[in-house]
Structure 1
Amino acid sequence: MNTNSKGVLITGTSSGMGLAAAIAAAQNGWHVVATMRDTTKSDRLLSAAAEAGVSLELRALDVTDPASVEECLAGLDHLDALVNNAGAGHLGTLELESVQAVRAVMEVNFFGVLNVTKAALPLLRASKGRVVTVTSVGGVIGQPFNEAYCAAKFAAEGFMESLAPVASAVGVSVSVIEPGAVASEFVNNVGGRNAVVDQAGPYAPALSAYLERTRGAFANAQTSQDVAAQIVALLEAEEPPFRVLTSDTARAFAGAKLKDLDGSSVQSLTRSWIAQPAPAA
């Protein structure tokens, strides 16, 4: 990496927000180390880079594999920023799935963030750099049938909020960025929705109601490019805040939790998402 340029490593760049953030950062003069688990899926990223007239450094990285993380960061002698973007959606509920399935969600969305951040911290300490972790409003409010996903995002939020003052003491800033609904491949990658409903047994009516509500929310979703612009702004902010909510909808949603001291308002809200209509008289 050219030590005369700003360097950022971004995880999960094969599609969605990660891809958009990689392109936007490169357009703003950053040397981007764009990573993904399977580099054979890099065609979309490389096409977008060519169209934008920017170049990227592509590296393989499986965030759940410490050896892969170590190999990816080997040879980087300078790094100004890390964007933890890689993640995986998950739809389900505890009675109907294994604890192992929940652990797998935690491995990607929580421990994967820790693996990469831990490996990058020595470089970021040297550069007085920053860590930006993409979480979610699902890291603020637990959502029906997203138990494992929200648990992982809650964990990432709590970890980063606790790490921030410690990292600051050695010159590293830590921030989280919380999107709401984003129009990206992330939603499409939560596979098997119809199959999940078919196998939901007594939970099927509630799950169907939740999915109907979710389709409406994503009909008005932010674009990946909009979130990416805010990631880049956070990378370049002179005094980055700890938390950035990426839309008015996200701010209103998270705000409901922050002022709900006994939890009753949030429970009322989320229960309404899975309520079935009253039968006709």
Structure 2
Amino acid sequence: MTTTPRTVLITGTSSGIGLAAAVATAKAGWRTVATLRDTTRADALRRAAADAGVTLDIRQLDVTDADSVTAAVDGVIADHGRLDAVVNNAGAGHLGTLETDTVDDVRDVMEVNFFGVLNVSRAALPHLRATGGRLVTVTSVGGVVGQPFNEAYCAAKFAVEGYMESLAPVTRTLGVSVSVVEPGAVATEFVNNIGIDLGADMAAGPYSGALRRYIDRTTEQFKDGNAQTPAAAAEAVMEALHADRPAFRIQTSDWARSFVGTKLADTDGSAVQELTATWIA
């Protein structure tokens, strides 16, 4: 008797947690569709798959482009016949604050980190209903704790968490599990890809001193040895995919659990304000 392997689609697999999750799912026996916005950036993904001795189905998918999302999901169903899980991992960081960001800057952050998740999830849900599948979204501890100079990014991640927390009981009635995975500091290209001109932003303006202190703290946090590896963070994704009854909210490390726990126990907001104020004071 032949058993058809389960199929998972993962977004944002060019590096970091997405790449690690793609390799881990393939090693665990999943038929893994690893997607990325620009397939010319798939070299690291292909090398990692070859090193692990696994095969990936690498496809183009731009989460901000509804046509691209529909084409990718329809292609998976046409070629593989089923979709058992989706891991929303694609996202983009952003540093700024209310007076330095434009409203369009904030809209761009929301487009990738929030509406992109909705685009993929909405296209996938009919197929996940058919298989009793799982919808997993990689958010951030910044989806629980608001952080200085991350207003737009945290707003997008808060929105994702609120949406998924509200969606979870609805999809559960039809057999689809919804979870969010919350990493803390992970040693990936994420910080390098934020795209801020640190020199220009720190050189002028009323927030330059606070921003400099925030950058110094964050740089230290992401130094080698102080940040979690992508493979370690991807273990939380695997938990969401494989646990009999996965939790809705899964942190990727003890530090992340402690940090998120501070917020969830902070009914008046004072503990978080006291904590994050020390980052820039």
Q: Normalised by the size of structure 2, how large is the TM-score?
A: 0.95
Alpha-carbon distance in 1 for matches of 2:196, 2:108: 17
Are 1:250 and 2:272 an aligned pair?
Answer: no
Q: Give the drift of 1:3.
A: 7.6
1:121-178 deviation line (CA, Å, top 9, x unaligned): 0000000000000000000010000000000000000000000000000110000010
Aligned to 2:53: 53
Aligned to 2:235: 229
Amino acid at match of 1:159: Y
Are 1:156 and 2:160 an aligned pair?
Answer: yes
Aligned to 2:220: 216
Are 1:260 and 2:280 an aligned pair?
Answer: no
Alpha-carbon distance in 1 for matches of 2:250, 2:46: 28
Q: Select which of 202, 222, 245 maps to 1:239.
A: 245
Alpha-carbon contact 1:92-1:196 (below 8 Å) kept: no
Alpha-carbon contact 1:179-1:245 (below 8 Å) kept: yes
Runs of 4+ in 1 over 2 A off after TM superposition: 195-200
Amino acid at match of 1:81: A
Alpha-carbon spacing, 1:3–1:118, altered in 2? closer, same or farther (3 Å): farther
For residues 162-181 of structure 1, the aligned pairs below 5 Å read 162-181=166-185
Aligned to 1:7: 7
Alpha-carbon distance in 1 for matches of 2:216, 2:121: 36
Q: How many pairs are equivalent?
A: 274
SS at match of 1:175: strand
Aligned to 2:276: 270
SS at match of 1:95: coil
Alpha-carbon contact 1:3-1:78 (below 8 Å) kept: no
Aligned to 2:64: 64
SS at match of 1:34: strand
Q: Give the drift of 1:200.
A: 4.5
Q: Percentage identity across aligned positions?
A: 64
Alpha-carbon spacing, 1:116–1:12, altered in 2? closer, same or farther (3 Å): same
Amino acid at match of 1:157: E
RMSD: 1.3
Gaps of 5+ in 1: 276-281
Are 1:140 and 2:153 an aligned pair?
Answer: no
Q: Give the drift of 1:213.
A: 1.2
Q: Give the drift of 1:193.
A: 4.1
Alpha-carbon distance in 2 for matches of 1:261, 1:194: 35
Alpha-carbon distance in 1 for matches of 2:36, 2:204: 33
Q: Give the drift of 1:192.
A: 2.7
